[in-house]
């Protein structure tokens, strides 16, 4: 059985990977969250949990002993925190990724996939900038990346915020009701990740075609007590999953795009943005809440 290391394995994506893969691989999880590790250990007794910070190269190198595959999910993700502490975001998202990639190469690990975000396409905030560099570090080493929009209901997302506010009977705080965000489910995120993992390691980016949702409509799916507070300077009205440059050298295949780094540019194409993709209705958002959010809370 192959041995899989998951960095940041106690986050939303990490926990989904454990659900899906704990019987298929020997798994080691590294993260800094001792509480989450303590909560997960009884559920996954065969998983090796290690308190390890990706900023510490020696610790990462030690964690990779005997591993065959790496999924790099560790990151500072809260946009406002990265804005307030940009150097800390650089230490984790940039230098931490360099440590993970260099340790994987030193250990001779052939398969590694790093998880990117739509925020790293033409970024305007620290989080997006650091994640864009994370992609470049991964690709330059010949490993693959996936790039996601908003994983529905993930920890720290607007969906989890609205759920908490509803439970507290507080107003649902919306920055801009017309903002559109790419939406994909945890199942779709897992499928894309496994596709990238099982494809040749050629410095390739895999992107799932995704619908979008208006932030105002997501709030409406939770209730009518909505308060508009105004957009932050580090937020975009619309997000981007592929730039125009990337669209010109991407392959459109089976519901996703594959971006090749060495492919010659074809004819110009418009970027893939959240204001041009399909839009989810309030009823469709409610169904996603029932399936992926409320179920998790029960």
Which of 56, 89, 60 minimizes the C-alpha distance to 75?
89
**Degrees (nearest 5) of the Cα angle 259, 263, 266?**
95
The C-alpha atoms of residue 114 and residue 69 are separated, in whole angstroms, by 11
> Which residues have C-beta within 8 Å of that of residue 242, sequence separation ≥ 6?
121, 207, 250, 257, 259, 271, 272
Query: What CA dihedral angle connects 272, 278, 284 and 288, to 10 degrees?
Result: -20
Q: Which two three-digit tokens encode residue 276? A: 């041009």
The residues assigned a catalytic role are 119
């Amino acid at each position: 059985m192959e041995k899989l290391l998951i960095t940041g394995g106690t986050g939303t994506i990490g926990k989904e990977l454990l659900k899906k893969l704990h019987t298929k691989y020997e798994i080691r999880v590294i993260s800094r969250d001792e509480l989450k590790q303590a909560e997960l250990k009884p559920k996954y007794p065969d998983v090796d949990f290690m308190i390890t910070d990706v900023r510490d190269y020696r610790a990462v190198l030690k964690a990779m002993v005997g591993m065959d595959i790496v999924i790099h999910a560790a990151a500072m993700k809260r946009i406002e925190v990265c804005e307030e502490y940009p150097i800390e975001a650089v230490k984790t998202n940039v230098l931490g990724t360099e440590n993970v990639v260099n340790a994987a190469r030193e250990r001779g690990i052939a398969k590694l996939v790093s998880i990117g975000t739509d925020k790293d396409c033409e970024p305007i905030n620290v989080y997006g900038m650091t994640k864009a560099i994370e992609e470049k570090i991964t690709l330059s080493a010949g490993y693959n990346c996936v790039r996601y929009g908003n994983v529905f209901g993930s920890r720290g997302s607007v969906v989890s915020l609205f759920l908490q506010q509803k439970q507290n009977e507080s107003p649902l705080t919306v920055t801009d009701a017309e903002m559109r965000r790419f939406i994909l489910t945890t199942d779709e995120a897992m499928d894309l990740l496994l596709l990238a993992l099982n494809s040749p390691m050629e410095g390739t980016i895999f992107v799932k075609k995704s619908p979008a949702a208006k932030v105002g409509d997501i709030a409406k799916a939770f209730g009518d007590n909505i308060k508009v507070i105004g957009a932050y300077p580090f937020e975009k009205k619309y997000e981007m999953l592929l730039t125009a440059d990337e669209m010109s050298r991407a392959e459109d295949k089976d519901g996703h795009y594959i971006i090749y780094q060495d492919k010659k540019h074809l004819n110009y194409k418009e970027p893939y943005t959240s204001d041009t993709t399909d839009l989810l209705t309030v009823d469709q958002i409610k169904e996603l809440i029932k399936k992926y959010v409320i179920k998790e809370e029960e």
